[in-house]
Structure 1
Amino acid sequence: MLKQTKHILTLSFCGLTASYAQVFFSNSRAFGALLMLVTFADVGVGLSGIGAVLLVQLTALLFNFNEQLIKDGAYTYNALMVGLALGGIYELNLSLALVLTSVSILTFFITLWFMNVLGAKALPYLSIPFLLGVWVILLGAGNFTALELHDKGVFSMSEWWPGLYSGTTEFIGTLPFHNAIFLYLRSLGAILFQYSDVAGIIISIGLILHSRISFVLSIFGFTIGYLFYHYMEGDFSQLIYSYIGFNFILTAIALGGFFVVPSRRSFAQLIFTIPLITLLISALHSLFSIFELPLYSLPFNIVVLLFLSAMYLRSKSSGLNLVTIQQFSPEKHHYSYTDNLERFRRDTYVHIALPIIGEWNVSQGYDGDITHRGEWKHALDFDVRDIDGSTYQMPGGKKEDFFCFDLPVIAPADGKVVKVEKGIHDNEVGNVNLEDNWGNAVVIKHGDHLYSKFSHLKKNTLKLEVGDTVKKGEVIAKCGSSGRSPEPHLHFQLQSTPYIGSKTLYHPISYFVSKKNGKNTFHAFEIPKEGETVCNMKTSKALTKAFSFIPGKKFNIESTENDKTETWEVLSSYTNETYIWCPTSGSTAWFKNNNNVFYFTAFKGNKNSSLYKFFLGAYKVPLGYYEEMALKDNMNIMSVVNPFIRFIHDFTAPFFHYIKARYSFRFTETDNEHDPYIIQFESQITESVFGLKRATSKFHIKLWDNKIALTFATKNKKHTITCVPIS
């Protein structure tokens, strides 16, 4: 019983502070607590708000609604605003308590309805339930004479500290553009039904601490609306009445950084959407004055819902990218998007491998000088060469003398055969068959509008028929010299149509290794270049076993930094996102393993933990060992950069980045290059400000017998974290 009571109290408190934070598109409970304190500038308003939230929480618990949504404040923030609004209009007494009870529950059920209806279309319900709930009371209030209008008195902070309020107003009056500043601060306070400069200042400070981008958006959106009114010589009394200019602020935050990824374009579109708010305020003010109803946040709701509905109908993003995973932080939205764009912008839906086994030479690449021209420019020709660069062994007069002749050709991805041409003789060296240009050929479908074509295959080696399915890596034929082929080679191309002779399609190869002048280079989603010796990356057993983080698996972690032993567990979310969970530090590191590369995607938790060090040191690891092979990757600056430095950077982040973080990796040593048991590599995190290196973190990793030992230095002292799987 005691445990259950503690759980409910914790749930209620978390949901209470989250409700306030939700009003400003946040899930920060610290910010929510600050906002809750602001509402107590008028005690009646503050108590009415809390009362409304508690009533809805109790109702939700009694009817067994989702506890996570109670905790997140999703059920309650609309009822909160109803409570704040009514607490500011009516005197706090038993009559108001009865009305507040009824309308809070009504608002809750309206919230559930809109959550279901709009949620099915991936649209937010915003503050529509608040508007309907509070309008119901205002329209019917004339029939309830027991409701007394609120008279601010001894329970108002302005009465307790009049000097603070008057002094603040007098100070702002000395500033340039003081009229605009007054209107901005009071509009900000009006969101919580606190119409004072002090409330606006406190909220703006909280907004800055929570999100610099939201703060900049609030000023930007308000300024656009204010200037539009000024230029159009609008009636400013409409803005001063209830300081309804908060619609500019809420719309700017919503469409500039909460539902849309913050960027130059998200700011630019506000230049066009905010004036719509001003037009709606003017039009609806005239209409609603007939019923003596305030507009509150109606213009904001209309514009945001119309904008988001329109965005969902686009065929392409057009530079305005909707947030797909809601993180309740414009900074997280921006940095996650830009990091993913940098890291995975070349990634493809279908991963196409090289159609070869072993090392081959790219004899003609994209835009090649011989035949890869015009509509057929995105193609690759392969042959095999010896150490001297020759394609054949002496005497070289027969096709059988060529190293690539009769070598296997493999499927680059799973697919289905849609076209086959076979039975064409292989040419003698120097001869070509222009009539059967492509020679023996096969076209395989890998997905919608994605096909691969192989040409000049050896006669009688293509056993596939139309309708056959193939698996990635399966041998489909052998390299020959049929068709327009003066000497044996393989022609390979991707195309969007299923015909032999279709025009080519630009499409990168997923993962491969190139070798030039003895140097191995790792490539991810790139186009092999003419003259390169390339091969598919062959995975190493030692690497694949060490980084086999399968959901359900556990690891013992020993750290010399704190002389502690802890346990990590690999888990997966309901969306099949895999992550490592450290109960000791409460930290989580999300990762992916695509059988070619192991890489982390995000970290949340204690940055002094062993898991964080592992996240940094093994941020991206190729699963095949090649001597001295290196790679580089971008890092999300939220994961590595000092919070104070990033705090300053956040103000300009949507426009340009002057802070960068890069990860670099290099294999250093092994006991056996062909079948390694022990593999060592080093990695490094480099932070730079305006291109100048600011900080570097170095790591050394050793793998053996499924174990991983990561060594790093702090304060000139080396520490080691050892990760051992639990059998």
Structure 2
Amino acid sequence: MPAIKPRIQAFATVYGQGLLNSYAQIFFSKDLWLAGVLLLATFVDLYVGLSGLAAVVVTQLIAAGLGFDVRLIQDGSYSYNPLMVGMVLGIYFEWSLSFLVLHLLATLLTFLLTVWLMNRLSRSYLPFLSLPFLAGTWLVLLAAGNFAALAPKYRGLFSIADLSEAGGPLALLGEQLQASFPLPDLLVLYLRSLGAIMFQYNLLAGLLIALGLLYHSRMSFLLSLIGFFTGFAFYRLLEGDMSQLVYSYIGFNFILTAIALGGFFLVPSRSSFLLVVVVVPIIALLISALGQVFESIDLPLYSLPFNLMVLLLLAALGLRLKARGLHLVQVQQFSPERNHYKFYTHRERFEGTTWFQVGLPFLGEWYISQGHDGPITHREEWKEAWDFDVRDGEGQTYRDPGVENSQYYCFNLPVCAPAEGYVVALQDQIPDNEIGGVNLDQNWGNSLVIKHGEQFFSQLSHLRKGSLRVKVGDYVRKGQIIGTCGSSGRSPEPHLHFQLQATPHIGARTLRYPLAYYLVRQPEGGVTFHTYDIPKEGETVSNVTKTPLLSKAFALIPGKTLTWLVEQEGRPARTVTWEIQVDAYNRSYFYEPATGAAAYFVNDQTLFYFTDFYGRTGGLLHHFYLGAQRVLLGYYREVRLSDPLLIDGL
């Protein structure tokens, strides 16, 4: 019996949440409270509600029986389109054995369309939206006319009176409410359009959905209002045929488009709200144009305008070279508020973060004798560069008498690759100058250029003659010793020149690019930790030296399991297990099976930090997430790290 209970709980979690999420996904959500309201709203018309619910259950059984991804069953991705097809069938046909056969086949067809479209569109980073529902519904309705055993209700799909009569007491209650408490016609039209999203052309259903949407997300509710009333205003302005809105409630396309673009697929902002106002009139044009085509073939238009507009816009935005104003949501939070909050908090936490993590090209502490815009040689096209040397406590660069290169502290010290890459150019046979001498003909001296990525290179110059340990074409690792510091080229005394550039040539123009992590020695003692910053002239800098104990502790490889013994006063001791897993986006995370919580993290070999937390708070994993939000993998007593905590993770 003890072994059976966890299985029952796991089953209820997967399939119970999957059922509810099927409803919530229609409104771009995974909120279970909203899902419960939507489920209730579908039963305003009893037969529609039962038909939709049956479609979800059948889809879950098919998906589980065929071995499909349990996570997609749980989040409702497989079943929300079959749910909508099921509700449509509940509107069109009387219940009978023939209906049940058709229902089963239509559900299977829509599920297969869902899987196929999910796979095809994901390759272009596009959502499949309700395309499986449209294709499945149209195919079934076109085919159904050839089967006499199917008894069509055809109670006037958009007839309020017929639906109220067929829907039962709840449907009639909606009409009675309207009679007892008259509402403005425009508000009634909005509520009925909202209900039409769940195939409930009834005031009560629309009111329930509006309240559920308002509870779930004020932004979604506001966007639904903006979308609908913008579309209505456009019809009025151009004196359009209002029958499309009044009798078919096709204006729900305005609502869905507004929520999708205003705060779900795009980060909510003034720009995204303005986009809704611009795009909704295009939806109105699509409704008018496509409505005539579909009326001629006796098929309902449903959500086709919404699907076309959203997919066209997302496809276009995905081709931009740079995001300006409108930012695509990268990791979906299923709430406009959370999408907004996560985006701007992440930008604050990681502002300045670069793709290539460039480090200092040496070991130990070096002094920046000339930085960016340096007064001696770092001018014009070569202004974004650094010159480094090594100094003693008195600020001297040499041991007395300082007349030979070997008496300078930095001479012959190791020079390292600042990041991994391939050697693309080098010079290694230029003699080192005597102290005070310069070689203007071979200005850069012995140099090395490493390619780190397309149009991104680093150059190290004034190296010692014959000290290079690599050749063109070699792959070098970050921190690998590639040569030693010298005094070749335009170098009156030993020093190291370091620059980043966009071309592979020695002496190319420089590129401003921050260094990922480094320490700065303070005059009063101690060091400060800098992230994605430009070291400044006059600073004594060094790379972070990792502490082996910390590096080992945070070497969290996918597949690793950690087990903890938890003892709390007044409670029996218990064990808690964490698993290290990787998701579809190749993001590593802790997973706590007991609570279902997940904490996403990054270990870039210098910093360990958390990025997101999902699931129940208050458990051991949640406490660890708060306590180890950002950890430097090198121990420095005086270093203090600060990081804004995500409020929704507290």
Q: Same fold (TM over 0.5)?
A: yes
Q: In structure 2, how many angstroms separate the alpha carbons of the residues matched to 1:471 and 1:5?
A: 50
On the 8 A contact 2:194/2:206 being kept in 1, the answer is yes
Give secondary structure in 2 for the equivalent of 1:243. coil
Q: 1:131 aligns with which of 116, 134, 139?
A: 134
Match of 1:554 in 2: 562
Q: Deviations over 1:36-78 (max 9, x none)?
A: 1111112122122223333434444554544443333323222
Letter in 1 for 2:39: M
Give secondary structure in 2 for the equivalent of 1:629. coil
On the 8 A contact 2:18/2:75 being kept in 1, the answer is yes
Q: Deviations over 1:127-162 (max 9, x none)?
A: 223223333454455554732334443752356636
Query: Which of 15-24 and 520-529 deviates more?
Result: 15-24
Letter in 1 for 2:259: I
After superposition, the Cα gap between the structure-2 partners of 1:583 and 1:141, relative to the gap in structure 1 and judged at 3 Å, is closer
Q: In structure 1, how many angstroms separate the alpha carbons of the residues matched to 2:567 and 2:193?
A: 53
After superposition, the Cα gap between the structure-2 partners of 1:34 and 1:386, relative to the gap in structure 1 and judged at 3 Å, is same
Q: 2:635 aligns with which of 625, 633, 645?
A: 625
Does the alignment pair 1:572 with 2:581?
yes
Does the alignment pair 1:29 with 2:35?
no
- 5 Å-filtered alignment, 1:132-151, equals 132-139=135-142, 144=148, 146-150=151-155, 151=162
Q: Deviations over 1:66-121 (max 9, x none)?
A: 44433333232222212222323444455544543443333333334433433443
Unaligned runs of 5+ in 2: 156-161
Give secondary structure in 1 for the equivalent of 2:247. helix
Q: In structure 2, how many angstroms separate the alpha carbons of the residues matched to 1:211 and 1:562?
A: 40
Match of 2:113 in 1: 110
Residue 240 of structure 1: how far off its partner (Å): 1.3
After superposition, the Cα gap between the structure-2 partners of 1:78 and 1:540, relative to the gap in structure 1 and judged at 3 Å, is closer
Residue 9 of structure 1: how far off its partner (Å): 7.1
Match of 1:122 in 2: 125
Q: In structure 1, how many angstroms separate the alpha carbons of the residues matched to 2:259 and 2:603?
A: 36
Letter in 2 for 1:147: P
After superposition, the Cα gap between the structure-2 partners of 1:234 and 1:148, relative to the gap in structure 1 and judged at 3 Å, is closer
Letter in 1 for 2:27: F
Does the alignment pair 1:366 with 2:372?
yes
Give secondary structure in 2 for the equivalent of 1:278. helix
Match of 2:474 in 1: 468
Residue 573 of structure 1: how far off its partner (Å): 2.0
- 5 Å-filtered alignment, 1:261-300, equals 261-300=267-306
On the 8 A contact 1:520/1:627 being kept in 2, the answer is no
On the 8 A contact 1:14/1:71 being kept in 2, the answer is yes
Q: How many residues align?
A: 634
Q: 1:457 aligns with which of 444, 452, 463?
A: 463
Residue 228 of structure 1: how far off its partner (Å): 2.0
Match of 1:75 in 2: 78
Residue 201 of structure 1: how far off its partner (Å): 2.2
Q: State the identity as a percent.
A: 49
Residue 219 of structure 1: how far off its partner (Å): 2.0
Query: Which of 152-161 and 275-284 deviates more?
Result: 152-161
Residue 297 of structure 1: how far off its partner (Å): 0.8
On the 8 A contact 1:168/1:197 being kept in 2, the answer is no
Does the alignment pair 1:339 with 2:345?
yes
Match of 2:43 in 1: 40
Give secondary structure in 2 for the equivalent of 1:571. strand
Q: In structure 2, how many angstroms separate the alpha carbons of the residues matched to 1:465 and 1:7?
A: 58
Residue 504 of structure 1: how far off its partner (Å): 0.9
After superposition, the Cα gap between the structure-2 partners of 1:155 and 1:326, relative to the gap in structure 1 and judged at 3 Å, is same
Does the alignment pair 1:602 with 2:609?
no
Match of 2:159 in 1: none
Letter in 2 for 1:166: Q
Q: 1:387 aligns with which of 389, 393, 402?
A: 393
Match of 2:501 in 1: 495
Q: In structure 1, how many angstroms separate the alpha carbons of the residues matched to 2:597 and 2:357?
A: 32
- 5 Å-filtered alignment, 1:169-184, equals 169-170=181-182, 173=183, 178-184=184-190
On the 8 A contact 2:369/2:538 being kept in 1, the answer is yes
Q: In structure 2, how many angstroms separate the alpha carbons of the residues matched to 1:33 and 1:14?
A: 11
Give secondary structure in 2 for the equivalent of 1:107. helix
Q: In structure 2, how many angstroms separate the alpha carbons of the residues matched to 1:628 and 1:482?
A: 38
Residue 376 of structure 1: how far off its partner (Å): 0.9
Q: 2:359 aligns with which of 349, 353, 356?
A: 353
After superposition, the Cα gap between the structure-2 partners of 1:52 and 1:530, relative to the gap in structure 1 and judged at 3 Å, is same
Q: 1:534 aligns with which of 541, 557, 561?
A: 541
Q: In structure 2, how many angstroms separate the alpha carbons of the residues matched to 1:57 and 1:6?
A: 17
Q: In structure 2, how many angstroms separate the alpha carbons of the residues matched to 1:160 and 1:180?
A: 21
Q: In structure 2, how many angstroms separate the alpha carbons of the residues matched to 1:98 and 1:69?
A: 26
Query: Which of 572-581 and 248-257 deviates more?
Result: 572-581
Residue 367 of structure 1: how far off its partner (Å): 1.7
Match of 1:725 in 2: none
Q: In structure 2, how many angstroms separate the alpha carbons of the residues matched to 1:58 and 1:583?
A: 24
Query: Which of 229-238 and 524-533 deviates more?
Result: 229-238
Q: In structure 1, how many angstroms separate the alpha carbons of the residues matched to 2:216 and 2:432?
A: 70
Match of 1:611 in 2: 621
Q: In structure 2, how many angstroms separate the alpha carbons of the residues matched to 1:230 and 1:476?
A: 73
After superposition, the Cα gap between the structure-2 partners of 1:129 and 1:574, relative to the gap in structure 1 and judged at 3 Å, is closer
Letter in 1 for 2:626: L
Q: In structure 2, how many angstroms separate the alpha carbons of the residues matched to 1:565 and 1:6?
A: 20
After superposition, the Cα gap between the structure-2 partners of 1:619 and 1:67, relative to the gap in structure 1 and judged at 3 Å, is closer
Runs ≥4 residues deviating over 6 A: 1-10
Q: CA RMSD in A?
A: 2.8
After superposition, the Cα gap between the structure-2 partners of 1:428 and 1:8, relative to the gap in structure 1 and judged at 3 Å, is closer
Q: In structure 1, how many angstroms separate the alpha carbons of the residues matched to 2:16 and 2:593?
A: 24
On the 8 A contact 1:439/1:456 being kept in 2, the answer is yes
On the 8 A contact 1:419/1:443 being kept in 2, the answer is yes
Match of 1:161 in 2: 173
Give secondary structure in 2 for the equivalent of 1:632. coil
After superposition, the Cα gap between the structure-2 partners of 1:159 and 1:186, relative to the gap in structure 1 and judged at 3 Å, is closer
Match of 1:591 in 2: 601
On the 8 A contact 2:579/2:592 being kept in 1, the answer is no
Match of 2:20 in 1: 17
Q: Deviations over 1:167-222 (max 9, x none)?
A: 6751xx3xxxx343222221111101222333222112211232333222222222
After superposition, the Cα gap between the structure-2 partners of 1:509 and 1:113, relative to the gap in structure 1 and judged at 3 Å, is closer
Match of 1:376 in 2: 382
Give secondary structure in 2 for the equivalent of 1:161. helix
Residue 443 of structure 1: how far off its partner (Å): 1.4
Does the alignment pair 1:195 with 2:201?
yes
Q: 1:422 aligns with which of 414, 419, 428?
A: 428
After superposition, the Cα gap between the structure-2 partners of 1:403 and 1:56, relative to the gap in structure 1 and judged at 3 Å, is closer
Give secondary structure in 2 for the equivalent of 1:20. helix
After superposition, the Cα gap between the structure-2 partners of 1:111 and 1:457, relative to the gap in structure 1 and judged at 3 Å, is closer
On the 8 A contact 1:135/1:293 being kept in 2, the answer is yes
After superposition, the Cα gap between the structure-2 partners of 1:572 and 1:15, relative to the gap in structure 1 and judged at 3 Å, is closer
Match of 1:650 in 2: none
Give secondary structure in 2 for the equivalent of 1:109. helix
Query: Which of 339-348 and 32-41 deviates more?
Result: 339-348
On the 8 A contact 2:529/2:639 being kept in 1, the answer is yes
Unaligned runs of 5+ in 1: 641-727
Match of 1:669 in 2: none
Letter in 2 for 1:18: N
Give secondary structure in 2 for the equivalent of 1:366. coil
On the 8 A contact 2:368/2:538 being kept in 1, the answer is yes
Residue 598 of structure 1: how far off its partner (Å): 1.6
User: Is the strand fraction higher in 1 or 2?
Assistant: 1
Residue 628 of structure 1: how far off its partner (Å): 1.3
Q: Deviations over 1:317-344 (max 9, x none)?
A: 3343333333433333333332332223
Give secondary structure in 2 for the equivalent of 1:316. coil
Does the alignment pair 1:86 with 2:101?
no
Query: Which of 391-400 and 528-537 deviates more?
Result: 391-400
